[in-house]
């Protein structure tokens, strides 16, 4: 049985973030997607936005769990990913028209992917990091964009694409963390957890 001090609450419902944690042997004890307003403040920098939202998600989940029996000693992890061209934020597309506009914008140019992660420890300590990755797309044809939109893989994703799917073939060059672009930078996440006493290796098995 997992020690109570090893309980991790993931303040997200993203299957991609869950898969990434599984990749490094971490099984969150609880998934808590938090419904917060993700609207950027006026002139807010993408880096500042992802940092703020990851904090708000973690705090919201912590507010729910701190008074629940058996959960006050849990670690809470919040994360938010933002895609931007310069300072222009390319949000999650809700409609196909939005997705098309986003992909045409990213086509043939470089953009930045920022992921903010926020860890709240059982003692209430708040630790934050931001990972940045530069991604360059090839020139994507209108036919390719239309076909990608038809696949549905853009739904719910920052920048209207998921690098781990079909859109991986659009990426000409990547500088920085690949897992950051998927949605959770594993180096920063694991070092943040380990630095606050969470045994990252507890779930590693031989074979």
Catalytic residues: 80
Partners of residue 84 on adjacent β-strands: 89, 112
Cβ contacts of 187 within 8 Å, gap of 6 or more: 131, 177, 179
Give dist(CA 7, CA 72) in Å, integer: 10
How far apart, in Å, are the Cα atoms of 73 and each of 9, 84, 205?
Answer: 10, 36, 25
* Antiparallel, parallel or unpaired: β 8-10 and 30-31: parallel
Cβ 178 vs Cβ 133: under 8 Å: yes
Give dist(CA 79, CA 72) in Å, integer: 20
């Amino acid at each position: 049985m997992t020690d109570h001090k090893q309980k991790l609450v993931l303040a997200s419902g993203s299957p991609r973030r869950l898969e990434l944690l599984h990749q490094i042997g971490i099984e969150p004890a609880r998934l808590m997607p938090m419904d917060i307003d993700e609207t950027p403040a006026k002139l807010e920098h993408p880096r500042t936005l992802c940092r703020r939202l990851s904090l708000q998600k973690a705090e919201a989940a912590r507010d729910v769990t701190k008074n629940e029996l058996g959960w006050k000693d849990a670690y809470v992890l919040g994360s938010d990913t933002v895609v931007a061209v310069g300072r222009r934020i390319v949000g999650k597309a809700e409609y196909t028209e939005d997705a098309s506009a986003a992909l045409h914008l990213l086509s043939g140019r470089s953009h930045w992917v920022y992921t903010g992660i926020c860890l709240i420890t059982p003692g209430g300590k708040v630790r934050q990091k931001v990972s940045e990755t530069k991604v360059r797309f090839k020139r994507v044809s209108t036919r390719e964009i239309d076909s990608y939109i038809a696949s549905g893989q853009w739904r719910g994703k920052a920048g209207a694409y998921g690098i781990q799917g079909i859109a991986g073939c659009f990426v000409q060059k990547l500088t920085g963390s690949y897992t950051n672009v998927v949605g959770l930078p594993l180096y920063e996440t694991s070092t943040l957890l380990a630095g606050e006493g969470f045994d990252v290796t507890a779930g590693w098995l031989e074979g």
